[in-house]
Amino acid sequence: MLSISARRTGPRRYRSRKSLYRAIIHVVLCLFSLAFLLPLLLVVIVSFTDEKALDQNGYSLFPTKWSLEAYKFIMVDPGQIISAYGVTVFATVVGTIMSLLIVSLLAYVLARKDFKFRKAFSFYVFFTLLFNGGLVPWYILITQYLHLQDTLAALIIPYLVSAWNVLLLRTYFASLPHELIDAAKIDGAGEWRIFFQLVVPLSTPALATVGLLTMLVYWNDWWLGLLFINNPNLVPLQYLLYRISTDIDFLSTNPQTVGLAPPVEAVRMAMAVLAIGPIVFAFLFVQKYFIRGITLGGLKGD
Amino acid sequence: MLWKELQAMLTKSQNLPPKAERRTSLAPPVRRADLGKHRQASLRSLKKSAPLLLMAAPGLLFLLIFAYLPMFGLIIAFKDYRAYQGILGSAWVGLQNFRFLFSTQDAWHITSNTLLMNALFIVTSLVASLAIALMLNEVRDTSKILSRFYQSTLFFPYFLSWVIVGYFVFALLNTNSGMVDKILVQFGLPSIDWYGSPQYWPVILVLVNLWKNAGFWSIVYLAGMVAINPEYYEAAEMDGASKWQQIRSITLPLIMPLIIINVLLSIGRIFYADFGLFFQVTHDSSRLYSATDVIDTYVYRALTTLGDVGMSSAAGFYQSVVGFILVVLSNWIVRRVDPDKALF
């Protein structure tokens, strides 16, 4: 008896309760999202705020006076920021391409079950994920023995091989059917040809994901700059941002602007905006692929 | 990062026929013929492996130089390193560096900060990203545009560098001008010297860490939730189960393996802190060190600013060894839970 009456009123009541839940969740998520965006909005707005208004009223989402002074200041002598962009773009492009090449070749070899030294080399590679010598020996190696300080190489080489990426690609390559390779061998193809003309075209999603992640690492890097770069011409973008957060004079090398009471706070935020601009753009295009890569296993036919 | 999950997702996406139908991937058929010609066969197979060896060579060489060579450099911790003498030429001093290191207050500060903060991060990150994932899962079919919007905004901080995050935090906490500070003053509360008051920073760092990483993890968990068969939920609804009951008995148990792996692997890394978070967001303010100095920042500072190779190498050695033990231990436990997900 009870169960019948429950079924009669159940679904209707449940359905309206369900939409109430959903509405609440939407509100919560909206608030969360806006809160997440808040810092970004604040930085952009402050960069367009008049410096005196900043001094008097602090950082606010609703400035009393708008101004382009900060951007004008940077544009008077954009040398530093342009050079920083150049360095970062170069390191990112070269680094990502080289890294993808080396890592995918290594992962492919480790994925081949018919490779004689597969077990030994796999251990060799993945042991580095468990144990490392730490910062001190690595730093001494790079500066005292390899003398890479103040070189572009120092911004590129250290990130070339990530054992995590090797692991990721190895699993992917290992899932490719061996028949393809057998068939190619019967046709007389050498190992290199098999890799570049057969395996690579088949692996574009995995290679793209690893490529994007590598690009992100290179683009955002300030650590290598912090450790190894002193020459102002070799300063990468994020490291430049770090330097000017403490010393605004690091930005300006033009004697006309130094000492002319620059709109310091607004300029800092303007620099940040100029640095993030490309990332936000790229993100809007690229996040689709990231999310797809992460969720593809779950969504079936979505 | 949970690479194992990423790669599992990637392989599942290819829609390959089930394993029973496929031959074992990349494994050639076994031939019984060449068991007799052992020596000739091994020379031949070496020649056959030559191109593959060549392909792997650059990667292997890189790891030799940048991963294995530094491991030998751990002996620096037992030496009085002088640059002009080199590593091998410097004098042995036994455990002296370690004695100095552990006689200071610093050693206990940095260890406890590292462990406590990481533990806080693991717990809060798990709760927050699960909550977000559950919410995203609930509204997933109602509006595609809104879902995309939520995912994008929650995910985008992950793409920013820690330097930029440092700027954001500065815009909020800057004494007298920062937005948060201004709000405090408006409410009649005193302005706080944020970058000089260590007591607030555990909370600040947890919040910043959540802001940066929760989005990423929520997508990983969401992927797991999306994979759950909707029939389970329908059956539960028929039986009159409430939302919360459904979550407790269907959603959470089914993604529990994902959660356990993630937590265990995070615990394995508990001795390693996120340098960017603790260095950039705090502006490396020395007044905050009692709360924000971790092993990684200590090693960096001792090495580059103080030039004290002895202390920094001893701290680094300490971190590498304890870190290794924890990683191996946690991976061993992961292997008991779900052998598929273990690193080795």
Dihedral of the CA atoms B19, B23, B28, B31 (nearest 10)?
120
Confidence band for A3, pLDDT divided at 50, 70 and 90: very low
- Cβ-contact A235, A83 below 8 angstroms: yes
User: Which architecture characterizes domain B111-292 according to CATH?
Assistant: Orthogonal Bundle (1.10)
Query: Which one of A116, A138, A221 has the shortest CB-CB distance to B70?
Result: A138
* A130, A244: one domain: yes
Tell me the nearest-neighbour CA distance from B35 into chain A, angstroms.
16
CA distances from B79 to B2, B198, B307, B310 (A): 37, 35, 15, 7
Q: In the beta sheet, which residues pair with residue A66?
A: A49
| Predicted local confidence at residue A277, as pLDDT | 80
Structure tokens at B318: 């300490």
A181 contacts in B (CB within 8 Å)? 26
A49 forms bridges with which residues in the sheet? A66
- Asked if B142 lies within 8 A of A22 by C-beta distance, the reply is yes
Residues A224 and A93 both lie in one domain: yes
Rounded to an integer, what distance in angstroms lies between the CA atom of residue B174 and that of residue B180? 8
- Are A108 and A243 members of one domain? yes
Q: What is the mean pLDDT of residues A69-78?
A: 84
CA distance A50 to A265: 10
| CA B294 and chain centroid, separation | 15
CB contact under 8 A, B25 and A176: yes
Which residue of A lies nearest to B148 if distances are taken between CA atoms? A288
Global ipTM: 0.84
Q: Output the six-digit token pair for A18.
A: 């369900």
Angle, helices A204-219 vs A264-295, to 10°: value is 160
Which residues are B80's β-sheet partners?
Answer: B91
**Centroid of chain to Cα B235:** 38
Name the residue among A168, A283, A298 with its Cβ closest to that of B3.
Answer: A168
Neighbours of A189 (CB within 10 A): 15
SS3 content of chain A, % helix, strand, coil (to 5): 75, 0, 25
**In angstroms, how far is the first alpha carbon of chain B from the final one?**
16
% of chain A surpassing 70 pLDDT: 86
pLDDT digits (tens, 9 = 90+) for A240-281: 999 988 776 676 555 555 555 667 888 888 888 988 888 887
> Is a pLDDT exceeding 90 seen at residue A111?
yes
Q: Are A194 and A176 in contact (CB under 8 A)?
A: no
Specify whether A137 is located in the same domain as A241: yes
Q: Which of A1-5, A35-39, A214-218, B60-64 has the lowest mean pLDDT?
A: A1-5
Handedness of CA B134, B140, B143, B145 (dihedral sign): positive
Q: How many domains does chain A have?
A: 2
Same domain, A189 and A148: yes
CB within 8 Å: A161 and B63: yes
Shared domain for A45 and A110, answered yes or no, is no
Average confidence (pLDDT) over A229-237: 92
Burial letters B202-218, b for 16+ CB under 10 A, else e: eebbbebbbbbbbbbbb
CB-based contacts of A101, cutoff 8 Å, min separation 6: none
**One domain, residues A15 and A100:** no
Rounded to whole angstroms, how far apart are CA atoms B30 and B140? Answer: 49
Q: Name which of B16, B42, B55, B101 to mutate to probe chain A: the one with the most chain A Cβ atoms within 10 A of its Cβ.
A: B55
**Chain A window 257-296: which residues touch B at a Cβ cutoff of 8 Å?**
265, 268-269, 272, 275-276, 279-280, 283-284, 287, 290-291, 293-296
pLDDT (0 to 100) of residue A301: 26
Cross-chain Cβ contact A125/B324 below 8 Å: no
Which tokens sit at B70? 């530094």
**Domain final residue pick, A251, A274, A291:** A251
3-state secondary structure chain B: CCHHHHHHHHHHCCCCCCCCCCCCCCCCCCCCHHHCCHHHHHHHHHHHHHHHHHHHHHHHHHHHHHHHHHHHHHHHHHEECCCCCHHHHCEECCCHHHHHHHHCHHHHHHHHHHHHHHHHHHHHHHHHHHHHHHHHHHCCCCCHHHHHHHHHHHHHHHHCCHHHHHHHHHHHHCCCCCHHHHHHHHCCCCCCCHHHCHHHHHHHHHHHHHHHHHHHHHHHHHHHHHCCCHHHHHHHHHCCCCHHHHHHHHHHHHHHHHHHHHHHHHHHCCCCCCHHHHHHCCCCCHHHHHHHCCHHHHHHHHHHCCCCHHHHHHHHHHHHHHHHHHHHHHHHHHHHHCHHHCCC
Same domain, A140 and A205: yes
Report the pLDDT value the prediction gives residue A5, as an integer from 0 to 100. Answer: 43
* Residue B151: C-alpha distances to residues A20, A270, B81, B218 (Å): 21, 27, 50, 9
Q: Which pLDDT belongs to residue A259?
A: 53
Tell me if A287 sits within 8 A of B156, measured CB to CB.
Answer: yes
Mean pLDDT of A221-236: 94
**Cα–Cα separations (whole angstroms), residue B127 to A18, B21, B221, B329:** 23, 41, 11, 24
Residue A231 lies in a domain: yes
DSSP 8-state secondary structure symbol assigned to residue A301: -
Kindly list the residues from chain B whose CB atom is less than 8 angstroms away from the CB atom of residue A26: 139, 142, 146
- B97-134 burial code (b ≥16 CB/10 A, e <16): bbeebeeeebbebbbebbeebbeebbebbbebbbebbb
- What is the nearest CA distance from A43 to chain B, expressed in angstroms? 7
CB contact under 8 A, B12 and A296: yes
* CA pair distance A193, A191, nearest whole angstrom: 5
Q: Which amino acid is at B133?
A: A
How far A259 CA lies from chain B's nearest CA (Å)? 22
* Chain-chain contact of B142 with A55 (C-beta, under 8 angstroms): no
Average model confidence (pLDDT) across chain A: 84
Cα–Cα distances (Å) from B197 to A37, A221, B108, B194, B291, in that order, read 26, 29, 20, 5, 9
Indicate yes or no: CB of B320 within 8 angstroms of CB of A138: no
What is d(CA A240, CA A222) in angstroms, rounded to the nearest whole number? 8
Rounded to two decimals, the pTM is 0.84
- Whether residue A137 and residue B60 make contact (CB cut-off 8 A), yes or no, is no
Q: Structural domain of residue A186, as residue ranges?
A: 78-251
> pLDDT tens for residues A185-205?
898 888 999 999 999 999 988
Check residue B17 and give its pLDDT.
46
Amino acid A60: pLDDT: 82
The position carrying tokens 């989005």 is B215
Q: Please list the pLDDT of chain B residue by residue as tens digits (344 residues).
A: 445 555 555 555 444 444 444 445 565 555 555 555 666 767 777 777 889 999 999 999 999 999 999 999 999 999 999 888 888 888 999 899 999 899 988 889 999 999 999 999 999 999 999 999 999 988 888 888 888 889 889 988 988 999 999 999 988 888 878 888 888 888 888 888 899 999 999 999 999 999 999 988 898 898 888 888 888 888 988 888 888 888 888 888 888 888 888 888 888 889 999 999 999 999 888 899 999 999 999 999 999 988 899 999 999 999 999 999 998 888 888 888 777 666 66
pLDDT at A79: 85
A76 pLDDT band (50/70/90 cuts)?
Answer: confident
A-B contacts (CB, under 8 Å): 352
A85/A15 same-domain check: no
For B163, the closest of A109, A160, A238 (CB atoms) is A238
For chain A, the C-alpha Rg in angstroms (whole number) is 27
Return the structure tokens found at A9.
Answer: 């009123």
If asked whether residues A22 and A164 sit together in one domain, one would say no
Per-residue pLDDT, A15: 66
What is the distance in angstroms between the Cα of B199 and the nearest Cα belonging to chain A?
23
Same domain, A125 and A209: yes
Residue A30 has pLDDT above 80, yes or no: yes
Determine whether the interchain pair B223/A293 forms a contact, defined as Cβ–Cβ distance below 8 Å. no
Region A30-58: mean pLDDT is 88
Q: Which of A103, A136, A193 to mutate to test the interface with B (most CBs of B within 10 A)?
A: A136
Cβ pair A59:B24 closer than 8 A? no
A167 and A205 share a domain?
yes
What is d(CA B95, CA B3) in angstroms, rounded to the nearest whole number?
38
Phi and psi dihedrals of B250, rounded to 5? -115, -65
Q: Note the pLDDT of residue B296.
A: 94
Model pLDDT for residues A138-186, shown as the tens digit of each residue: 999 999 999 999 999 999 999 999 998 998 899 889 988 988 888 998 9
* CA A18 – CA A24 distance, rounded (Å): 10
Q: Which residue has the higher pLDDT, A259 or A81?
A: A81
In which band, very low, low, confident or very high, does the pLDDT at A291 lie, cut at 50, 70 and 90? confident
User: Is pLDDT at A302 greater than 50 in this prediction?
Assistant: no
* 223-262 of A, contacting B, C-beta below 8 A: 223, 227, 238-239, 241-242, 245-246
Contacts of A161 in chain B (CB under 8 A): 59, 62-63, 66
Cβ atoms of residues B167 and A245 within 8 Å: yes
User: Is pLDDT at A10 greater than 70 in this prediction?
Assistant: no
Q: CA-to-CA distance for A63 and A69, rounded, in angstroms?
A: 14
Give Cα B222 to chain centroid, integer Å.
19
Query: Residue B62 is which amino acid?
Result: F
Q: Chain A partners of B27 at a C-beta cutoff of 8 Å?
A: 113-114, 178
**Encoding tokens for residue A94?**
């070269």
| Position A30 in a domain | yes
